[in-house]
Copies of this chain bind each other. A is one copy, B any other.
Amino acid sequence: MEKPKTSAKPFILLVNDDGIYAPGLAALAKEIRKIGEVFIVAPASEQSAVGHAITLLSPLRVWPFYKNGEFFGYAVSGTPADCVKIAYWALLEEKKPDLVISGINHGSNTGINVIYSGTASAATEGTILGIPSFAISIATYEEVDFSFAARFARKLATIVLEKGLPPRTFLNVNIPPVPEEEIRGVAITRQGMAVYREKFDRRVDPHKKTYYWLTGHKINLEKEPPDADDVAIMQNKISITPIHYDLTNYEALNELKEWKFEL
């Protein structure tokens, strides 16, 4: 276990992909301030499905963001991964975070969505920097109350600060969108593999030009293994998946070594 250096008051970086205005971030900040010193760096605008993008081809801007007349955090003209990088390498000096929390995302980050998730990418970025990190999402796009998820994030933060996390691994947490009394515990899960049936809506703009808009829904959810993240959510359990960024398929290595390449 990589144990974080905990000071008397842990220093916790909050980030998200819904943008600095998002209510999920506000709810998270409110709870996490009870256990630590909070530093917020979040995208200036919504960044859904940006994947693990970083901004190389253009510069980044940073603006202080105030809420009810008080400094809340920094808004960045970039992606969630940019936010973590710029916090660590530019906005913070000697003092580095003990923990990175990304969220609370409005919408699930389960199964194949993890690879498109800006929320997950911020936690990956924290992990690459050697900081224990987790991503947290509520599994619905409907209007939602973030308060239970925020309290669970606080509880999990306390546990992670105490125990640390396995090397190069972050936790991807999804909260079922049900009232607190209907939640049936915590499941340690694996990333599900259900894919999308996708469709592009073909439309015509006011200037008579064609454009396309991606839509889709997950299929074959009923074929998921019982320990998949999406299955836990369907059972009203909190899903926690340990995620790493070593994408090597080790099982395939030996098979490929049999191939003959004549150069």
Contact = CB atoms under 8 A, between A and B. Distances in A.
Given A90-B212, A244-B249, 12 more contacts: A49-B56, A50-B50, A51-B53, A52-B115, A53-B116, A60-B213, A61-B212, A62-B212, A156-B261, A166-B249, A169-B252, A242-B253
Nearest to A199: B89
A253 B188 CA distance: 7
A60 B199 CA distance: 13
Contacts of A56: 48-49, 214
B245 A212 contact: no
A155 B246 CA distance: 27
A248 B242 CA distance: 6
A77 B168 CA distance: 35
A138 to B, nearest CB: 15
Contacts of A188: 253, 256-257, 259
Interface of A: 46, 48-57, 59-62, 79, 81-82, 85-86, 89-90, 112, 114-116, 121, 124, 128, 152, 155-156, 159, 163, 166, 168-169, 171, 183, 185-186, 188, 190-191, 193, 195, 198-200, 202-203, 205, 209-214, 238, 240-253, 255-257, 259, 261-263
